[in-house]
Amino acid sequence: MQLLALAFIVVSTCLGVDAGRVITYPSHIRTKRDAYIVEFESHIPSTHVSRFHAMPDIIVKRHYTNAFNGISVATTKGLDPVHLANTEGVLRVWPVRYHYAFSPSRGSAQLNSTESYLHRMTGVQKTFEDLGLNGKGVKIGIVDSGVDYNHPDLGGCWKTKGCPWQYGEDFIGDKFSMSDADPIIEPNPTPMDCNGHGTHVSGIIAARGSQVHGVAPGATLGMYRVFSCTKDDVLSTADDIILQGIEAAYADGHDIISLSLGGGAWPEEPLSVACSKIVEQGVVVVAALGNDGIGGLHTAAAPAVGHGVISVGSVDNWNITGNPGYITTAQNTKTIILSTPGSALNPFVFLSDVPVVAPVDKEGSILGCSNYTEDLSGKIALIARGTCTFNDKARNALQAGAIGVLCYDNAPGVTSPAIDKSINIPFVIITEKDGKSVADDIAKGPVTIKAPKGEYKVFPSTTGGQISPFSSYGPSPELELVPLISAPGGNIWSTYPLKLGKYTSLSGTSMATPYISGAIALLKQARPKLTVDEIRTLLVASAKPITDATTGLSSSPYQSGPGLVDIYESIKSRAKIDPVALSINNTKMRPIQGYSELADLGTVRWTVRTITIKNTDSKKSVRVHHRDTVANSLSKYFGNGTYAYTPRTWPADTKSVSKSTLPQVYVQSADKTISAGKTGEFTVFIVAPKGLKDSENWYYGGFINFDLQWDGEETHSSYVVPYAGYNGDYTAQNVLSPSSEGLPALVDMNLTAIEDPSKLVIGGNTAALVVFGIAIPSRQITLTLVNSGTGKSLGYLLDGYYEYSGFTCPNCTATAGAALLNGTVFTDEKLVETINAPAGLYHVHLKALRPFGEIGNDDDYQIWDSGDFCIL
């Protein structure tokens, strides 16, 4: 059964829930024991904190007064958080959740010659050269893992006169570890970075060296350190600490706050709430969308999904550089690119030529997933990527005596491997193309490789400008279009702590986010009076949709937003477009009446919207022409209702479908002239693609392009309005993962599926778990124990009540949720009183709220009932 392949974490039960007030997260989310964030109602003054100081068994840890109205507390003596929720003026009580950094993968290095190439693609270089802007006078607060401010490219100073670093603080120290019961928080005097993430992010914004040239090297900076040093290979923190960092950045009066972090999925979560509140105060907040692209749709994280937050997706860099490898055959020597090894302990360095072979494993495969019978002593093994983990391949090669592994990719681009430290062998990835060519060489005769130390070479990337595969997908749970914008985040060369090598290349939406923060600093410098809303509008309207090299259509707005940032065009923009994007849901099949030109479309899904364009040029009128471009449709299901683990894209290419089956846009009186300072209105009909099956849950989209040509000018400027929607009734979608996953299911405590529940007897020492997957975020999930004889519910399973659930997926960070079934249930609505169920025949009733559903309205839930079992 597939279920057994799933790994998930069962954490200690979050007991004590006041329905609607104390929030519980699904059990796969790690929370801090006896720690809560108490959110006050918006009208409550911050002096309200005194009530909590006076309460027994509570320690007020932090008092948030700027970005968030509330406190964080630690409870002693196992105090039930319901007491907190029952205190007057409290809106919600949240468990303190642990967060991981959006851990970047190591890309390969890149030289400065290519960085100007990168900046040319985003309008940044033109802004430097033509407008002479550098972000001077703009303040950017970065909440991250700290910064090595001794780095010469980052100023080499801390808070001295003329230093770029004028603000910042450490909130965590070097010892914090999620695995400790009570993680140690001992802030240092300055936010020095021991991890590298924050130093890399800082360089993307503001490096001013010969190696790295940031987007806004003239900006004034603050670093708010909320991530500690790496422990057990993870860089972690908790949201009460992040909140403290965000608050401090806000209090210091930054124009822009840059957040390469996150977790969760909802605009209601504390980090999102804080960010939205800051945005309301006129501060720009930029946040990474997340690195769960492998899970497909609905993988966007908080706080990027927060209202008004500028969420950022990633595109791959055009040039990748790596350590070169020199392959020599009887005929010639050629250069291939080697990924940066994930482990500094085992660098892939071979100063003189060593033989490369392409061994087959015991199963006759080049995948190296089983043992080798061949002796590989003194040789490097060429192995294909796939089927098993990099660790397995490395281990098998090591066991056969190999001295290194060249693993070739199975998709375009360059990935970087993360090999267990204990497997003592140099391991690098090479491109699929290079790998196949080396395999051909080996088939013809002896082949050797030489890999010098510390040499870098630049190679054009085949995936340059394409959406990075790791970049998370929208939409938000409420179908808002995220990401709002895309920027380069794959294979980015930037500053790194001096102790860790000074420079490196990393990949992640963590890298795309500071790029946008820097770009907005240029925009703010040019046009200081812009509101956050205007900045959002300018970024989106001036972006450039990305053409997907595989399908020939545009990348979906749910992956790329409007496309790649073009900050020069944003700065020079003379139009204001409203709304910035169109989100479409619940369109019914019906003919379009009253518009004769659309009558022959027949019965279709369609919607009609109005777009207004304001000509902000004070003197010239502008002529508007309209075009539209179609984007890929996306789905994570097959027609038979099973998950497609690689997100599906339709159509495969533009030749395979007729144009009439793609999404269609009709703009009424599309071509018109708008006088100086005036506004024009455009009525837009969007027709969903006719070529898609409802049962496959497709999300479609595209771009409405307006070409604006001002009076007397020769060239035009292009503005874009992305549109995207769900092909069907969004509110009717299933939120649980498909039954083909073997979920929901009853499993024993060893996670083995219980095939026949009628043989299950709960009691004594026997308990079971109910495991479930969440395909799209759900506002509320409950699991109740029902007496099968009477049909009456006894109450909620101990961890059978969740709010604000994100997605789970077998390939993502969160793989499944689980609730304990041991006979004890909460009997009351407030989930305070427990009883042990009397002996009898029972089943579990699981309810998951569908999108936009109403809590308490049974019709809005997806339901699952287990088979009957016994409780003794």
User: By CB under 6 A, is residue 583 in contact with ligand NAG?
Assistant: yes
> Residue 520 and residue 6: Cα distance in Å, rounded?
42
User: By CB under 6 A, is residue 749 in contact with ligand NAG?
Assistant: yes
User: By CB under 6 A, is residue 856 in contact with ligand NAG?
Assistant: no
By beta-carbon proximity to ligand NAG, the closer residue of 597 and 748 is 748
By beta-carbon proximity to ligand NAG, the closer residue of 252 and 729 is 729
Site residues (CB under 6 A) for ligand NAG, limited to 64-123: 111-112, 114, 117
Torsion region of 437: left, alpha or beta (phi above 0 gives left; psi -120 to 50 gives alpha): alpha
Distances, alpha carbon 641 to alpha carbons 637, 644, 733, 862, in Å: 6, 9, 12, 15
User: By CB under 6 A, is residue 855 in contact with ligand NAG?
Assistant: no
Span near ligand NAG by CB under 6 A; candidates 16-24, 330-338, 573-581, 582-590: 582-590
Least distance CB 829 / ligand NAG (angstroms): 20
> Residue 213 and residue 393: Cα distance in Å, rounded?
38
> Residue 7 and residue 816: Cα distance in Å, rounded?
8
What are the tokens at 842? 């029972």
User: By CB under 6 A, is residue 836 in contact with ligand NAG?
Assistant: yes
Contact pattern for ligand NAG over residues 35 through 74, marking x by CB under 6 A:
----------------------------------------
DSSP character at residue 303: T
User: By CB under 6 A, is residue 645 in contact with ligand NAG?
Assistant: yes
Site residues (CB under 6 A) for ligand NAG, limited to 307-346: 318-319
CB 513 within 8 A of CB 260: yes
Q: Indicate which single residue of 65, 448, 586, 679 sits in contact with ligand NAG (rule: CB under 6 A).
A: 586
Q: What secondary structure, in 3-state letters, does 157-205 show?
A: CCCCCCCCEEEEEECCCCCCCCCCCCCCCCCCCCCCCCCCHHHHHHHHH
Least distance CB 387 / ligand NAG (angstroms): 8
Site residues (CB under 6 A) for ligand NAG, limited to 202-221: 210-211
Torsion region of 646: left, alpha or beta (phi above 0 gives left; psi -120 to 50 gives alpha): beta
User: By CB under 6 A, is residue 5 in contact with ligand NAG?
Assistant: yes
User: By CB under 6 A, is residue 365 in contact with ligand NAG?
Assistant: no
Report the candidate in 597, 598, 613, 636 with the shortest Cα–Cα distance to residue 733.
636
Report the candidate in 114, 154, 206, 217 with the shortest Cα–Cα distance to residue 498.
154
Torsion region of 106: left, alpha or beta (phi above 0 gives left; psi -120 to 50 gives alpha): beta
Parallel, antiparallel or unpaired: strands 778-787 and 793-805 = antiparallel
Q: Indicate which single residue of 50, 76, 335, 371 sits in contact with ligand NAG (rule: CB under 6 A).
A: 371
DSSP character at residue 299: -
Residue 728 phi, psi dihedral angles, 5° rounding = 145, -155
Parallel, antiparallel or unpaired: strands 589-591 and 603-615 = antiparallel
Least distance CB 374 / ligand NAG (angstroms): 11
User: By CB under 6 A, is residue 422 in contact with ligand NAG?
Assistant: no
Least distance CB 229 / ligand NAG (angstroms): 29
By beta-carbon proximity to ligand NAG, the closer residue of 191 and 295 is 295
Span near ligand NAG by CB under 6 A; candidates 277-285, 377-385, 780-788, 819-827: 819-827
User: By CB under 6 A, is residue 731 in contact with ligand NAG?
Assistant: yes
Span near ligand NAG by CB under 6 A; candidates 548-556, 559-567, 621-629, 634-642: 634-642
By beta-carbon proximity to ligand NAG, the closer residue of 184 and 839 is 839
Report the candidate in 502, 662, 504, 632 with the shortest Cα–Cα distance to residue 563.
632
> Residue 8 and residue 816: Cα distance in Å, rounded?
6
By beta-carbon proximity to ligand NAG, the closer residue of 29 and 479 is 479
Residues in CB range of 825: below 8 A, 6 or more apart? 784, 785, 794, 795, 796, 797, 798, 800, 834, 835, 837
User: By CB under 6 A, is residue 808 in contact with ligand NAG?
Assistant: no
Contact pattern for ligand NAG over residues 454 through 493, marking x by CB under 6 A:
----xxx---x--------------x--------------
Tell me the number of residues near ligand NAG by CB under 6 A.
40
Residues that bind ligand NAG (CB under 6 A): 5, 13, 111-112, 114, 117, 210-211, 294, 318-319, 371, 395, 399, 458-460, 464, 479, 583, 585-586, 638, 640, 642, 645-646, 731, 740, 748-750, 798, 810-811, 822-824, 836, 852
